[in-house]
Structure 1
Amino acid sequence: MSRTARPRLGLALLASAFLVAAATAVPAPAHAEEVTDYSLTVDPTAKGPAIDRTMYGVFFEDINRAADGGLYAELVQNRSFEYSTDDNASYTPLTGWTADGTAQVLNDPGRLGDRNRTYLSLAAGSSVTNTGYNTGIAVEDGKKYDFSVWARAGSGTTLTVTLHDTGGPLATARRVAVRKGGWVQYGATFTATRTSTTGRLTVASSAATALDMVSLFPRDTYKHQPNGLRKDLAEKIAALRPGFVRFPGGCLVNTGSMRDYSEASGWQRKRSYQWKDTVGPVEQRATNANFWGYNQSYGLGYYEYFRFAEDIGAMPLPVVPALVTGCGQNKAVDDDALLERHIQDTLDLVEFANGPATSTWGRKRAEMGHPEPFHLTRIEVGNEENLPEEFFARFTRFRAALQARYPYLTVISNSGPDDSGTTFDRAWRLNRDAEVDMVDEHYYKSPRWFLQHNDRYDSYDRSGPKVFLGEYASQGNAFKNGLAEAAYMTGLERNADIVELASYAPLFANEDYVQWRPDLVWFNNHASWGSANYEVQKLFMNNVGDRVVPSTATTTPDAVGPVTGAVGLSTWNTSAAYDDVKVTAADGTTLLDDDFSGGAPAWTHTGTGSWSVQDGQYVQADTTAENTMVRAGDPAWHDYDLRVKATKKAGREGFLVAFGVKDTGTYYWWNIGGWNNTRTAVEQAVDGGKSTLIAKPGSVETGRTYDIGVKVRGRQVTLHLDGQEWGSFTDDKPAEPFRQVVTRDAKTGELIVKVVNAQSSAARTAIDLGRAKVAPRARATTLAAAPDAVNTETSTPVAPVTSTFTGAAARFTYTFPANSVTFLRIKQR
């Protein structure tokens, strides 16, 4: 029997639409039980919020090797021999290189420059070979590649440069004559004679020579820009038609030392990302330790970011540090002189972007090849600070200085690292009270959370700060993740008067160097592919429209029962001991009573770590393991009380006490002393994706025993810590799979009906366009695939299909496929 959606007021007349003959875009399913009936009403005479063309953009951070070895087209890894153990414990100055003969990396007054501190001394008859990234240097038959090197020789010498793989030469060898004297840049060009993904670049010297900045660049960069971008990756961003590019981070911005370079101390590695380090000739730019565990060359710097944004017609949106660290570091730098220097740097940044070529920093931009301004209008100060008071005190000084000199500039603040909680609430209060123009929100949640919270911005104060949703994703790259994000994006568009900017994050991942998942675009050294999430973003970003047209739709019947599941114990980078676990049903029946005096036969180990019974306690001993879950009980348990005693023995965090455990990826847990022992929260995991339901500051003392209690009644959960109620929540918000938004494209005169059907049954929908007169032919673009479908280098199961629909009218029916995103562009007469 088919499920029928609950009607809303004013929609009853639409039932008659199902009784008239109307074309559908896809055949109706064979069985009635595979169809859910919906109604969608559009009011084309009403005026919803305007949507700015810059609403959707991209966020670039150098994570997952997104810059060097990624978007930055340089093919040589560690080209200036600057890799260090400060970047990665396994690194040396010759990482990425192999030497044949005598090759020594030196750091002495003979260096190329103060910020390019190490160089290679190559003995006569010796050579070095670079392995590139991934499997090697990728070249394509017939394409040109430009080689360059800075060299210094005591006498005339010849460098022999070869491009090859195990099968032999990939291009004709080149010989470069190095004159006697100081550092000079030399160059040559290769034309590849074969295609290879495992190439190597070898430089051999006939006499003692010093080398630095060994480079190999494809001639065919994006827009043929010098020091440019890898073409296929840049084209994938351009295909999104982004309204803005947020850069350079992310955690890169406000982590590491905020200090400056000095001749006395030398270059300070693990330094926060500061824009002046990244401009000027590339050989004069420093390298730095990347927060994500590798080296960054700054070859892709602020000038290249601005130039790329201009090339793709996007608004540049840089982020600068506010001297409050984030991303788990949580420290405010108390140095007024340093703060003033950073404020001045930010003023100089605006001059670099917008100042005339006669100004100090405008001249620097012109010298780099761009005399015209970049038209910067928005800038963000800070990123995900978890100390709202300290951050905001510094932010207000940045804002005052920037708006005093550049009153047209929008200065963007943020609300911390979460979608809710104490930090979020306090940050928003400070931003509202100070009448900040825009606040950046970040959150990474489960698909279920995105399906539940389509209405998040419906209740935001329309007179308060606007929202920049700078980072969000649903913790996976399967189509079910894209569907959940698409459903959520309909709510973003509906609230375009509040959410003025939005960008998925992160943007890129090199498949061989991954620190974070999920990611929008994946690549290796020779290929790239968009994820299912990318296809969703592209569909929305290429079909935004100018204004929202108000619409309503029926919803899906609820089938929400009580919280059910077994119980569990876990740790995260922590050793802990658990004892006296007792689970009691609401009627007093004992379901589990375990003091571990007889071992732990009731428990199943489903995670990592090392569990054993020691002195009558169940102990997890590994302080490096993450999610060491053990579970006990019946997945059908509901309405129960869980009690357990827990003692931290060693490590970085506290306890993880789970309830409602259905399987290894679906459960709730009370994370006590998480996030490096700074916060306590309840998280819900659904198919591996987590969402925070309630959070407060909190830490755990080593050696102290805590009495933990969890009371589950229906969908309500109450938590007790040492006999005191810590908090409670009710998880009863439905995860609505059917969502819609309608916009109007003034340029084409079309209504764009956007419908997400994130369920396994088709959605047969009666659509009422009011009294709108429309052409019968409409263009339909559909993404439809299995929920677990994932795009890869060799397979693209999630891809748009465009068709012509000939049944458009003031009232018509349309069957939206199961697990689909559909955009109907309907021409108004």
Structure 2
Amino acid sequence: MTRGRRRRWRLGLGAAVGALLAGTAVTPSAVADDVTDYTVTVDPSRTGATIDDTMYGVFFEDINRAADGGLYAELLQNRSFEYSTADNKAYTPLTAWTVDGTAKVVDDAGRLNARNRTYLSLGAGSTVTNSAYGTGITVVKGGTYDFSVWARGDSTLSVRLSDADGALATAARVATRGGWAKYTATFTATRAGTTGRLSVTSSADTALDMVSLFPRDTYKGRRNGLRKDLAEKVAALKPGFVRFPGGCLVNTGSMAGYDAASGYERKRSYQWKDTVGPVEQRATNANFWGYNQSYGLGYYEYFQFAEDIGAMALPVVPALVTGCGQNRATDDDALLKRHIQDTLDLIEFANGPVTSKWGKLRAEMGHPKSFHLTHLEVGNEENLPEEFFARFTQFRTAVAARYPDVKVISNSGPDDSGSTFDTAWKLNKDARVDMVDEHYYNSPQWFLQNNDRYDTYDRSGPKVFLGEYASLGNKWSNALSEAAYMTGLERNADVVKLASYAPLFARDDTVQWAPDMIWFNDQKSWGSADYEVQKLFMRNVGDQVVPSTGTATPSTLEPITGAVGLSTWATSAAYDDVKVTDADGNALFGDDFSGDAARWTGSGRGSWSVQDGQYVQSDEAAENTMVTAGDPSWRNYDLHVKATKKSGKEGFLVAFGVKDTGNYYWWNLGGWNNTQSAVEQAVNGGKSTLIAKAGTIETGRSYDVDIKVRGRQVTLFLDGQEWGSFKDDKPAEPFRQVVTRDKKTGDLIVKVVNAQDAQARTTVDLGGADVERKATVTTLAAAPDAENSATETPVKPVTSTFDGVADTFSYTFPANSVTFLRLKKD
């Protein structure tokens, strides 16, 4: 069938979505005004890549309060009085607690144990109350809640669970005697509440620590377990693996471990031995994302959760090179050797016999059988590839010598391209590493443009673990772009062996990073549009790619057009002598700031002013302070700017092709904590890197920045020398497809993404595949800006049937949709 867009009378997208929600098949007359014609041709005689059962998984990081206050079911905040300004400037040891009477937090030799150092000394007749997270403790009527506390002293504790309207359960009385001991009580909620408080009143002077309240109804009923609804949402995905515990928190902070002689280290990298054993003996730690992590959810619980949901456990350990902008590497050989030994001990903890030291601890914690660990990752997003790889090699060698069946995964830094990425990949490839972890967060347009990313990867080189990716939003348009990209991951399943969207969780009142797959508050949880896409793909992976081809969407790329801009990011910088000329050298714009800056407009971020004939942004803390000037219709022009970094963390940014605040290009010089420079493109607020190189910007030095725009070709000059060039000419293809086969059922699964406002009328040629006439259809379709929330779920799957399958048949895929046709073997 010929391709092309035709104008037809249709009922519109709203009618299509209504039909889908009613569970009926969507016909061509019920979708959208525009129609684009496509052809999908399947070749069942050929065999494509094998898709492993572990292809898609989840990545858990304690970000956005994903653990404490989230997946970890503990209801109280700061239960052991360990919060500190090291975690957050606003924290104290009594954060989340209020005292009525006399109480003080103590750190002395009378503590509960060496790692749980601070405790509360509560005076006679005094009360301490925990407000939990958010609005307070949520309880359900009839629910059972287990209270526990470690106490020292002879006293009677009166424990109450209540809200402003009175008791939520019958109060409990606990008698304490002598030295530190654990005491328990049980509450049964007599009514529901969402603003509960837990109060403890002591009849005499008493020391308290590890005050805890747990719902009995945890996931699979496990003690010290997981919040049921959140765990069930992950389990519903049927993920092939769980990568944990991060993320940036793995390899940031101090690299030292706890040392009883020198005191408590409150900012150290995530070390698994801190997180196992009895919870009252586990450390707490400052979280990279600005709060405290209790480690109640530790390595044992991660392994247990992975096993409970039938997923492969994939832990990540620090490589002694910090990432996430810190860029430090240890030169302490003894410390490196200890971490390597810790990694070997971790494998013993997971797999070792109960007669081994760490296997015995696993058994004592309740799991005598092996967790069958097969994969382990060292490091996360290190931006020092040589330093990282030198240390990674030592980890890899040690693991191979002791546990040759465990695959050790490396990584390629924090971006999809650039000098760090290229260097890391060369090192990994030369050393024949098993697998390399790639991370990138880009705009939806990037995902639509780069479906073929892995088509040209070396089939004999290291395999790819796409450990973190997302399109920087939770709208349906974001999820559509990710779905289109996932068809390329499956097509290249011989190279891409593992893939996980990131991050997994976000508590809606504590968000350090968005987008996220699953959102929650104390009362409920909901899956984003991206969650629905991930679930559809994970539950319908198939075992083998069936080669297929699809026609493309006609497109015409216009030249780059837009105004110009100046910006900073956590830096003070000065600009001067801005000149814009057309391709013939004629002046379009000029400003030497000898007067005011009236021709420049901005968002109001930062502090811009004309100082000594320069335009200066002086607020070092402000981010994305862009001001713009000129005509958005400019094309084929040269931009010249003099730029000087005055102070701060980074360099400066010069923008071109500026259409509005969410659509532009900028040359980011000295970005990423002044470690590299790159050209980034913003599309509807989401940025992607087009070209990047390592390098720094000197403070106080004036740089000549020149940008030449011709059509879609851009050439960049720094101090008169060509720095780099690129051509932004890749179309953002909205129609993508892949076909897989489920060997167990024989089903053929035709997966089609139509990420455009036009319906896609498609001729499907099955090439003689032996399938039944009736197909099961699962469709996700919504308006591009639709977004799931706590109260509305516009993006959800609708199942229907299609009774028109033939060797060649026609199917019209709705506008802005993901559709899976499951064709049963005849």
TM-score, structure 1 normalization? 0.96
Residue pair 1:5, 1:555 contacting (<8 A) in 2 also: no
CA–CA separation in structure 1 for the residues paired with 2:415 and 2:696: 18
CA–CA separation in structure 2 for the residues paired with 1:420 and 1:463: 20
Residue pair 1:5, 1:38 contacting (<8 A) in 2 also: no
Match of 2:317 among 315, 320, 342: 320
Instruction: Name the residue aligned to 2:170.
Output: 172
**Shift in Å at residue 195 of structure 1?**
1.4
The letter for the 2-side match of 1:27 is T
Residue pair 1:238, 1:312 contacting (<8 A) in 2 also: yes
Match of 2:796 among 796, 799, 813: 799
Match of 1:355 among 349, 352, 356: 352
Map 1:8-407; keep pairs closer than 5 Å. Answer: 25-29=25-29, 34-153=34-153, 155=154, 157-179=155-177, 181-407=178-404
Residue pair 1:3, 1:33 contacting (<8 A) in 2 also: no
Residue pair 2:31, 2:759 contacting (<8 A) in 1 also: no
Match of 2:661 among 664, 679, 691: 664
Instruction: Name the residue aligned to 2:479.
Output: 482
Instruction: Name the residue aligned to 1:608.
Output: 605
Residue pair 2:32, 2:814 contacting (<8 A) in 1 also: no
Deviations 1:493-517 (A, max 9, x none): 0000000000001100111111111
CA–CA separation in structure 1 for the residues paired with 2:396 and 2:625: 45
CA–CA separation in structure 1 for the residues paired with 2:220 and 2:211: 23
Residue 182 of structure 1 aligns to a residue in which SS?
A: coil
The letter for the 2-side match of 1:113 is N
Deviations 1:43-92 (A, max 9, x none): 11211011011110000000010000000000000000000000001100
CA RMSD, aligned part only?
1.3
Match of 2:747 among 746, 750, 760: 750
Deviations 1:128-171 (A, max 9, x none): 10010111111111110000000000x3x110111111111111
**Shift in Å at residue 590 of structure 1?**
1.3
CA–CA separation in structure 2 for the residues paired with 1:798 and 1:697: 41
CA–CA separation in structure 2 for the residues paired with 1:528 and 1:412: 32
Deviations 1:717-768 (A, max 9, x none): 0011111111111000111000000000111211000000000000000000
Instruction: Name the residue aligned to 2:811.
Output: 814
**Shift in Å at residue 615 of structure 1?**
1.8
Q: Which moved more, 1:590-599 or 1:433-442?
A: 590-599
CA–CA separation in structure 2 for the residues paired with 1:100 and 1:606: 47
Residue pair 2:46, 2:546 contacting (<8 A) in 1 also: yes
Residue pair 1:29, 1:35 contacting (<8 A) in 2 also: no
5+ residue gaps, structure 2, are 7-23
The letter for the 2-side match of 1:306 is F
Deviations 1:354-391 (A, max 9, x none): 01111111000000000001000010111111111111
Residue 40 of structure 1 aligns to a residue in which SS?
A: strand
Instruction: Name the residue aligned to 2:432.
Output: 435
The letter for the 1-side match of 2:48 is G
Q: How many corresponding residue pairs?
A: 808
Instruction: Name the residue aligned to 1:587.
Output: 584
CA–CA separation in structure 2 for the residues paired with 1:563 and 1:654: 25
Map 1:512-661; keep pairs closer than 5 Å. Answer: 512-661=509-658
The letter for the 2-side match of 1:236 is K
Residue 501 of structure 2 aligns to a residue in which SS?
A: coil
Runs of 4+ displaced beyond 2 Å: 29-33
**Shift in Å at residue 601 of structure 1?**
1.7
**Shift in Å at residue 41 of structure 1?**
0.4
1:679 pairs with 2:663: no
Q: 1:339 to 1:32 in 2, by over 3 A?
A: closer
**Shift in Å at residue 621 of structure 1?**
1.4
Residue 458 of structure 1 aligns to a residue in which SS?
A: helix
Residue 457 of structure 1 aligns to a residue in which SS?
A: helix
The letter for the 2-side match of 1:781 is T
Q: 1:531 to 1:100 in 2, by over 3 A?
A: same
Residue 254 of structure 1 aligns to a residue in which SS?
A: coil
Deviations 1:514-571 (A, max 9, x none): 1111111111111111011000000000000010000000000122110011111111
Instruction: Name the residue aligned to 1:416.
Output: 413
Instruction: Name the residue aligned to 2:19.
Output: none
The letter for the 2-side match of 1:590 is A
Residue pair 1:606, 1:631 contacting (<8 A) in 2 also: no
Deviations 1:579-631 (A, max 9, x none): 11111111222111111223112111125111112222111111111111111
Residue 179 of structure 2 aligns to a residue in which SS?
A: strand
1:699 pairs with 2:696: yes
CA–CA separation in structure 1 for the residues paired with 2:495 and 2:198: 52
Residue pair 1:29, 1:762 contacting (<8 A) in 2 also: no
Residue 400 of structure 2 aligns to a residue in which SS?
A: helix
Instruction: Name the residue aligned to 1:9.
Output: none
TM-score, structure 2 normalization? 0.97
Residue 667 of structure 1 aligns to a residue in which SS?
A: strand
Deviations 1:739-798 (A, max 9, x none): 000000111211000000000000000000011232111110000001111100000001
**Shift in Å at residue 30 of structure 1?**
7.2
CA–CA separation in structure 2 for the residues paired with 1:675 and 1:774: 53
CA–CA separation in structure 2 for the residues paired with 1:350 and 1:80: 30
The letter for the 1-side match of 2:28 is A
Residue pair 1:5, 1:554 contacting (<8 A) in 2 also: no
Residue 304 of structure 1 aligns to a residue in which SS?
A: helix
Residue 627 of structure 1 aligns to a residue in which SS?
A: coil
CA–CA separation in structure 2 for the residues paired with 1:72 and 1:752: 37
The letter for the 1-side match of 2:110 is G
Residue pair 1:581, 1:595 contacting (<8 A) in 2 also: yes
The letter for the 2-side match of 1:280 is G
Deviations 1:384-412 (A, max 9, x none): 11111111111111111111111111111
Residue 342 of structure 1 aligns to a residue in which SS?
A: helix
Residue pair 2:68, 2:74 contacting (<8 A) in 1 also: yes
Instruction: Name the residue aligned to 2:18.
Output: none
Residue 467 of structure 1 aligns to a residue in which SS?
A: strand
The letter for the 2-side match of 1:734 is P
CA–CA separation in structure 1 for the residues paired with 2:747 and 2:25: 18
Deviations 1:207-250 (A, max 9, x none): 11000000000000000011000000000100000000000011
The letter for the 2-side match of 1:174 is A
CA–CA separation in structure 2 for the residues paired with 1:42 and 1:429: 36
CA–CA separation in structure 2 for the residues paired with 1:31 and 1:624: 48
Instruction: Name the residue aligned to 1:770.
Output: 767
Residue 61 of structure 1 aligns to a residue in which SS?
A: coil
**Shift in Å at residue 27 of structure 1?**
2.3
Deviations 1:186-207 (A, max 9, x none): 0011111121111110011111
Match of 1:491 among 485, 488, 493: 488
The letter for the 2-side match of 1:85 is T
The letter for the 1-side match of 2:507 is N
Q: Which moved more, 1:602-611 or 1:525-534?
A: 602-611
The letter for the 2-side match of 1:606 is S
Residue pair 1:638, 1:713 contacting (<8 A) in 2 also: yes
Residue pair 2:780, 2:795 contacting (<8 A) in 1 also: yes
Residue pair 2:569, 2:625 contacting (<8 A) in 1 also: yes
